[in-house]
Amino acid sequence: MACEWSKAMGEEGLCEEVIEAILKMGFKRKASFAHAFVDSNVFEDWLTRFKLKLVSFKDLDDAEWLTSPTCGDLRAFWKKSSGEELPAPASAKHLPLLGSLSLPAKFGAADREALLKVFESNYPGAALTPETTPFLPYLQTIRSQCQQKSWAWVAWRRILSEAALWGVQSRKAGTKKRDLTEVLAEAAGLCGEEWDLDMGGSPHRIFQILCTRAHAYALCGGGHLQNWLTYTHKFISHYSRKYGAGWRAPNPTEAEDADREVLTEVFKQVLRDGVSLDTALDCVVREDFFRHYLGPRPRLVQKALPGLEEDVVVKKPKRRLPQPLTDGKKQRDNQGKGKLTGEPKQRAQSQCFAFKKTGKCAFGADCKFQHAE
């Protein structure tokens, strides 16, 4: 067997001095030599010590020895004996695409159904509706965060539910023609959808968005569902609060900024203090972090610009006075304006019906109507 072992080392290009030194060290067969080194670091340390066993290489320093052809033959022989493959030269065909190393594993509909089954067993009383069921690409993003423990806030426009996705796709289909590659990428879950319309200031719509996020984290194991829903209800109660005159509630953009600040504080506590996600959520709700970011805003009052009142004079329409009745005619004066001439005409006085009918009046001379005969 020793002869076969020596012959195998000679076929790999090892010189006689190296073969004799290996045999003197006790390596009588291939298996003992292959499994004596658990990894390449241990083998490199052995090569440094093995130089002292060779008379021809004693005078070389470590750098020259480790880069010598003899060390190269020894490395190739050890890797071949231990079953390891030599590193192949990189080619453009085998190079990974940009960003493929950081992307999570493919997450399909079957994986989501498995998560939904676990969710139903963990939360029997929770009902998932199309308005609060996370869309597949968004669920994959949250699943990647939970697996890698790399927590990050996601913008509201990218938190899509199944119902919201249907609305977005129907609007896209009605406005423009879609390319085949876009349809195939969307079917494979490779495109990131987002809201294409203004979300408005409806608390109900924002509540659905935050509930979709809560269900996504609960599905992927990122905290308990009850803690996320408590966070959501506390946020909506601050956002929909009514204020008196001179003050207003925050708009949707300010509310989204507030959610980013509070949730970033949650993730900081998890990464910095080493607490669980449930503990961090309970802390921000108990300490009421929302009051710092969702407080009332002063209502702006429109005022006139300086000097505007002096330049612009509002003229009131003149009231037209009733003209007296006259029997004269209009005449033009020297300035071309018309004026009335003659004496004022007396208005006709109404007759007394009692005097006209019976010839008598109870008021006599004091009657204000005319007694005509």
SS3 291: helix
Give the pLDDT confidence score for residue 221 in this predicted structure: 87
> What integer pLDDT is reported at residue 189 of this predicted model?
46
Residue 342, pLDDT score = 55
Dihedral of the alpha carbons of 96, 98, 103, 108, in degrees to the nearest 10: -80
Residue whose entry in the numeric block shows the structure tokens 């009850």: 226
**What's the CA gap between 281 and 226, in Å, rounded?**
10
What DSSP state is assigned to residue 135? P
Closest Cα to residue 37, out of 6, 87, 74? 74
Straight-line distance from the first to the last Cα atom of the chain, in angstroms, rounded to the nearest whole number: 165
What are 13's two structure tokens? 């290009």
Number of residues assigned to the chain? 373
Report how far apart, in Å, the C-alpha atoms of 78 and of each of 25, 35, 40, 72, 75 are. Answer: 15, 9, 10, 10, 5
The beta-strand segments (E) located in the chain are: 247-248, 297-298, 330-332, 338-340
What confidence score (pLDDT) does residue 47 get?
Answer: 82
DSSP calls for 31-93: HHHHSS-SSHHHHHHHHHHHGGG-STTTTS-HHHHHTSHHHHHHHHHHHHHHTPPPPPPP-TT
Q: Report pTM.
A: 0.49
Which pLDDT score is estimated for 230? 92
pLDDT for the residue numbered 228: 92
User: 338 in helix, strand or coil?
Assistant: strand
Q: Is there a contact between 296 and 243 (Cβ–Cβ < 8 Å)?
A: yes
In this prediction, residue 338 carries a pLDDT of: 56
The predicted structure's pLDDT at residue 365: 82
For the chain (373 residues), the mean pLDDT of every run of 10, in chain order, is: 73 81 81 77 81 80 80 82 50 35 58 86 84 85 87 86 74 57 52 49 84 90 90 89 81 88 90 88 89 82 54 60 53 54 58 85 84 74
